[in-house]
Amino acid sequence: MPTINDREYDWSSIEVRSDGGPPLLKITAISFDWTVERSLVEGAGRKPLGMTKGRFKPGNGSITFHRSEYDSLASTAGWCDEVRTIVVQYTDDVLGTKTEALTGVRFGGGKGGGENGTDALTVEVPFMFTGLLINGVSPIADTSVTAQVQ
């Protein structure tokens, strides 16, 4: 996408919601990765014959919460067992709104602590996910088999 008048999305453009709830305001970071894992098709000769369509491979992610928000989240029994949908929206009055929806999200613990200074304490919470829609579409065309998380 071209830059419009040197504008780009920044942290103030991001809104994160879990399961359609209100925006998560007490977060300082969110990150996640994914790939399409492919293999070369080889045969006789020195060059590959082609490439497989591949498989969507969700990576890992994390959300960094302020300590008080983490305490609220972690005070619910089974909070790491609950399957969630996390929606990340990037909104700018010039660039418009873009959305990434992570499905089948399960939190997997926390990395807390503290250090000397004036910054608010935070806890990084890792998660895994099974699905991704970018602006409403899957990054791969074949969506005939969908993982069922229980």
* 107-141 pLDDT, tens digit each: 998 887 888 888 899 999 999 999 999 999 989 88
pLDDT of residue 83: 96
The residue written with tokens 């007490």 in the block is 26
**Closest of 72, 65, 61 to residue 124, by C-alpha:** 65
Helical ranges in 16-143 per DSSP H: 67-74
Q: Which pLDDT value is given to residue 116?
A: 84
Q: Which amino acid is at 63?
A: I
Confidence grade of residue 64 (pLDDT, cut at 50, 70, 90): very high
C-alpha closest to that of 122 among 131, 111, 108, 132 = 111
